Amino acid sequence: MNVQSEETLRATILDSLLSVAPDIDAAALDPHLEFREQFDFDSMDYLSLATALHARLGVDVPEVDYPKLGSLDGCVRYIADALSRRSSP
Amino acid sequence: MSAATLGATEALTREHGLELLAGMVRIRRFEERCVELYSATKIRGFLHLYIGEEAIAVGVLRALRAADSVVATYREHGHAIARGISMRSLMAEMYGKREGCCRGRGGSMHIFDASARFFGGNAIVGGGLPLAVGLGLAAKLRGSDSVTVCFFGEGAVAEGEFHESLNLAELWRLPVLFACENNLYAMGTALERSESETHVARKAESYRVPAATVDGMDVLAVEAAAASAVSAIRAGSGPQLLELLTYRFRAHSMFDPELYRDKAEVERWKQRDPIGALEDRLRAEGLLADADVAALEAKIGAELGDAVEFAEHGTPEPAASLAADVYTRRAGS
Amino acid sequence: MRTSYREALRAGLRDALRGDPRAFLLGEDVGRYGGCYAVSKGLLEEFGPERVRDTPLSESAFVGAAIGAALDGLKPIVEVMTVNFSLLCLDQIVNNAATIRHMSGGQFSVPVVIRMATGAGRQLAAQHSHSLENWYAHVPGLRVIAPATLDDARWMLAAALADPDPVVVFEHVLLYNVEGNLDPAIRSVDIDRAAIRRAGRDVTLVTYGGSLPKTLAAAATLAAEGVEAEVVDLRTLRPLDDDTILGSVRKTRRVVVVDEGWRSGSLAGEVVARIAEAAFYDLDAPPARVCSAEVPIPYAKHLEDAALPQPAQIVAAARGLLGS
Amino acid sequence: MPSLGADMESAVVTQWLVKPGDRVERGHVVATVETAKGIIDIEIFGSGVIEKLAAAVGDSVPVGGLLASYRAEAEAAAPAAARAPPATAPPEAAAPRPSPGPTPASPIMSGAARPPGAPPSRDSAAERRLVSPAARKRAAELGIDLASVGPARAGLAITIGDVERAAERAAGATGAQPAAPPSRTAGPSDMRGVIAQAMSRSKREIPHYYVGTTIEMTHAVRFVRTWNAEHPVTERLHVGALLIKAVALALEKAPELNGFWRDGRFEPSAAINVGTATRLRRGGLLAPALEAANRQPLPNLMRRFQDVVERARSAHLRQTELADATITVSSLGEGGAETIYPIIHPPQVAIVGFGSVVTRPWVIGGAVAPASVMTATLSADHRVSDGHRGSQFLLAIDRLLQEPEKL
């Protein structure tokens, strides 16, 4: 995975995040910090985020993995991993 | 006048006499039954009785042919029966049944019959006179020799339509016989209380319409006057008017307290009952026996009983067809 | 072909008298005088006094006589000088012509056509200027029509004569001198339907008779402001063509009814009521009416103008509904 | 300042459309004011000449406070009898809505402001918002709350075009342009005020009673976990959906908890529309309704639940969704407190509170063991129901949650 594609992925994830929570300030987002802390996310928000990511990227995140979607960095890591697993046999 | 002078100048055959008698008795019995049926609430609305005036309808209408036309008033049961409209058709109309001549739309005051060229009872006093003028105009424009008889009461003489119609009919020389049934009262208003000139015939003369005054209680006199007038009209004389002096024996409509006329006056006129007068003359001349009267009454009783039965068993016009015949082609608003 | 409304009516009369021996014209001064508004000028010479029949000033008798003749199957065409005079024969029209078919249980029809002038605009004051179309349009048994265009003036009489029932025809006095070209393609008109005289999407202007030219003028003014008004000419005042009226209102959602009659109890009120009953939920604004002021029509020109619906009022009413 | 609804106590003047000396006619819009529900036109209730503007733009004026005075025809200066329509449009559809409630009499309604001879009663036409019949019909078809639609210009009626434009904006907002709110749904700044008013009214007017119980959630939690392991993300469940469904089903047998208190009496609702109190990230909360929640299969209810929560948090709710609820559920969710004692949202008559699901010692089969449990509370209107009925209702919810597969 090259830098270019990670940036694209990050933008897509951020877009998905904003589609679920359009009221958050993307400029002030801290990629390391948990959404729960930054934006008061609850389980419904995580479910919505997982649904949005599934719609955009086709990645079905199991419920047990929701905690891994906790921050933007976490999301990028998890999704990139899932995508690479899917593309390689 | 007395019964002895009735139709003094007319020769009378038994057959002719019995026809006239039967014509008047049919009307009389029909209306007497109507009174009963009205009291039993089988007939509703206004019911204006012709009792006492039968000689006019019978006498005048004998002068007409099938192609002639009749325009009548709201007191028109007598005219309708004398013109040959069946008792069944009339009684069913009184009952408001679909078998009635107007399918229950007209009732007592609005009898119409196309086959009899009977253009209506008309409940607007004077409203029929212009129609008669129009029927006369149609005959003239067609070049036919048919005559229209227009019945109206003396009350209509106060309406403008009387004057307009007489003027127009004479102006255009139309074949119309204006038959004024002068029974002295327009509802409760005596003629002398409403007219400066109480001789209707004189009013007609002012329009140059030939006019005669006739004893309306003498069926033979009426018949003779009408025959003469109609034949002149048919020959192209233009309109004529007959003022037929008569009297209604009963109230204006079904009941009224008759405050406007004297009981003695009513009794006096009843002595001149046109039916009784004709009977008297026929008996006096040996043309009528008790058995004739009994046979006549039995026949009329049967006809009337059949008519009532027919009306009783008639079908009410369905309310769904309420709007029928408002227009020829459609129901619209 | 250049013609006037008056000439178009006359051509219709001539057609009728030529085409049907049962037809004849009668009325005050229709013969030698040539008609109060010169509509029947020349017809006496062509058809003779039996069929172009002058009458005395006896509205009840000659209208009643026409009804009587119609009862016997003739096709009389009566001219009553003005609607105001027709009140003298209201009895014959309302109590006889309109009722006899029904009262006789369908035995008799009354195929009479009664023409009368109506309306104001010629400074004839209160006894020659009124618009009482709604009086007749109220009565079941009558058909009431109001030709407002040259083509309708030309062809409506034939349609009226073809109707077996009594037809009252209203000719607005201001229309007699209107000139224009007849549409050669039109050889008959449908007196069951209203006509869309101008298509538009923003507001419906419903009118009839003498108010049609004013309403079209108002529509032109509105068009210059970008408002596309649809103009519905009722043509037949009874029975009303609900489908055309409602169809237009459902499209534009706004309606102004222009009626030279007085507002109270007016035909405009009837049109508005039907719209409210049948198209309430399609309306985007309350229906509006432009009617005559509730005064007997006065003589002086400026007063007469002030009493009558004018294009400016129609424009204002439409603007009011559009909030423009 | 006219009262524009029972919940309104004051409003901020946003614009004056007249100045002293202007002639005004009854029905003219003289000013606009901002209320919790949006910007509303103020109509004048009489005709005359404006004398003085008593409030400046930006001023908050309490209901009944003086906005301006005008000189009525042939009269001395009178307070401006300005009235505006209630912000809440009359009900459009069969579903019950909260009514605007009675309007308290205010000084501006009295005295010289009234035209001579006019009765002292309220003028309903002047209060009514002008909405065309076509606009009402279209709004009902599109599910657009008319309170969220404004006329093309102050003083005009709302037309079908206005409704359709509002619908287009709403459609656009839920699609590509999330930044444009479809309606004048209360924003964060005035959200607090709305809550304050509604809750003050609730505590002032509604005699609450409270019952509570602890519900074992082992089965429900396991059911959701199993379901979610077996289903893709688009079909997953949330415990909250089970709670809503249980409440809705239990309500079928507790009609006195479902409906509205209006005009001094209870109006039960045939429909069971469960409002879900949804916390917003920037503070405040909204309670969009899940309509006919008792009749929807759980997966459908879940999708709808997820949808309204998402849209509530992104300010895409329609006003109807806020007005339709016949009862409210307030659930604290995971990681929260164990018990909540919620306050009824008027004109509803009950609210159900669920605490966080926690692991606590629990007696199972005579022995104490760790179990997932949750506290359920009911706050209900004592004018309509009693504690015993409330208690039965909670126990019914408990029973339903023990068999989650049947929900």
| CATH code, C2-181 | 3.40.50.970
Q: Rounded CA gap, B116 and B20, in Å?
A: 19
Q: Which CATH architecture has domain D1-122?
A: Beta Barrel (2.40)
DSSP string covering D386-400: -HHHHHHHHHHHHHH
Match domain A3-12+32-87 to its CATH number in 1.10.1200, 3.30.519, 1.10.3470, 1.10.287.
Answer: 1.10.1200
* pLDDT one-digit tens code per residue, C261-294: 999 999 999 999 999 999 999 999 999 999 999 9
Q: Rounded CA gap, B205 and B198, in Å?
A: 13
Q: Which CATH architecture has domain D188-406?
A: 2-Layer Sandwich (3.30)
The ranges assigned to domains in chain C are 2-181, 195-322
Asked if B43 and B31 touch (Cβ cutoff 8 Å), the reply is no
User: Which chain D residues are Cβ-neighbours of A43 within 8 angstroms?
Assistant: 238, 333-334
Amino acid letter at A53?
L
CA D337 to chain centroid, in Å, comes to 26
* pLDDT one-digit tens code per residue, A30-50: 888 888 888 888 888 888 888
- Please state at what angle helix B219-234 crosses helix B274-284, rounded to 10 degrees: 100
pLDDT at D30: 85
Tell me which of A44, A61, A65 to substitute to probe the interface with D (most D C-beta atoms closer than 10 Å).
Answer: A44
pLDDT at D110: 29
The reply to whether domains C2-181 and C195-322 share a CATH topology is yes
Q: Rounded CA gap, A5 and D14, in Å?
A: 50
* pLDDT one-digit tens code per residue, C87-134: 999 999 999 999 999 999 999 999 999 999 999 998 999 999 999 999
User: Among this protein's residues, is C59 annotated catalytic?
Assistant: yes
Tokens representing D53 are: 């503007």
The C-alpha of B103 sits at a distance from chain C's nearest C-alpha, in angstroms, of: 5
Task: Work out the number of other CB atoms within 10 angstroms of the CB of residue B98.
Answer: 18
The C-alpha of C165 sits at a distance from chain B's nearest C-alpha, in angstroms, of: 6
Asked if D334 and A67 touch (Cβ cutoff 8 Å), the reply is no
* pLDDT one-digit tens code per residue, D222-279: 999 999 998 888 889 999 999 999 999 999 999 999 999 888 889 999 899 999 988 8
Round the CA-based radius of gyration of chain A to a whole number and report it. Answer: 12
* pLDDT one-digit tens code per residue, D329-365: 999 887 789 999 999 988 899 999 999 999 999 998 8
B99-108, C284-293, D44-53, D167-176: the lowest-pLDDT one? D167-176
Average pLDDT along chain A: 81
The C-alpha of B169 sits at a distance from chain C's nearest C-alpha, in angstroms, of: 9
pLDDT at D128: 66
Q: Which CATH architecture has domain C195-322?
A: 3-Layer(aba) Sandwich (3.40)
The ranges assigned to domains in chain D are 1-122, 130-184, 188-406
Mean pLDDT by 10-residue block, N- to C-terminus, for chain B (333 residues)?
51 93 98 91 92 98 97 97 98 96 94 97 96 98 96 96 98 98 93 92 95 97 97 97 96 80 92 97 95 97 97 93 87 55
Chains in contact with D, where contact requires at least 3 CB pairs less than 8 Å apart: A, C
In this predicted model, which residue has the larger pLDDT, B98 or D117?
A: B98
Asked if D322 and D345 touch (Cβ cutoff 8 Å), the reply is no
**Mapping DSSP to helix (H, G, I), strand (E, B) and coil, where does residue B179 land?**
strand
Q: Which residue in C78, C65, C59 sits closest to C169, CA to CA?
A: C78
Average pLDDT along chain C: 96
* pLDDT one-digit tens code per residue, C177-211: 999 999 999 999 999 999 999 999 999 999 999 99
Asked if C285 and C318 touch (Cβ cutoff 8 Å), the reply is no
Q: Rounded CA gap, B147 and D244, in Å?
A: 93
Q: Touching check for C95 and chain B: CB below 8 Å?
A: yes
Once rounded to an integer, what is the mean pLDDT over residues A11-31?
82
Of B37-46, B111-120, D52-61, D112-121, where does the model show the most confidence? B111-120
- The reply to whether residue D134 touches residue C323, judged by beta carbons under 8 angstroms, is no
Amino acid letter at C97?
A
User: Which chain C residues are Cβ-neighbours of B127 within 8 angstroms?
Assistant: 64, 91-92, 95-96
**Domains of chain B by start residue, with CATH:** 18-313 (3.40.50.970)
DSSP string covering C72-124: TT-EEEEEEEEHHHHGGGHIIIIIIITTHHHHTTTS-----EEEEEE---SS-
The residues that bridge with C116 in the sheet, in sequence order, are C80, C170
Strand C229-233 relative to strand C195-198, pairing: antiparallel
The pTM of this model reads 0.63
Residue D74: band (very low, low, confident or very high) from pLDDT cuts 50, 70, 90: low
Asked if C198 and C212 touch (Cβ cutoff 8 Å), the reply is no
**Mapping DSSP to helix (H, G, I), strand (E, B) and coil, where does residue C128 land?**
coil
Q: Which residue in B303, B275, B300 sits closest to B288, CA to CA?
A: B275
Q: Rounded CA gap, D123 and D109, in Å?
A: 10
DSSP state of B102: T
The reply to whether domains D1-122 and D188-406 share a CATH topology is no
Phi, psi (rounded to 5 degrees) for D262: -140, 140
Give residues 28 to 57 of A whose Cβ lies within 8 Å of D. 39-40, 42-45, 47-48, 50-51, 53-55
Residue D5: band (very low, low, confident or very high) from pLDDT cuts 50, 70, 90: low
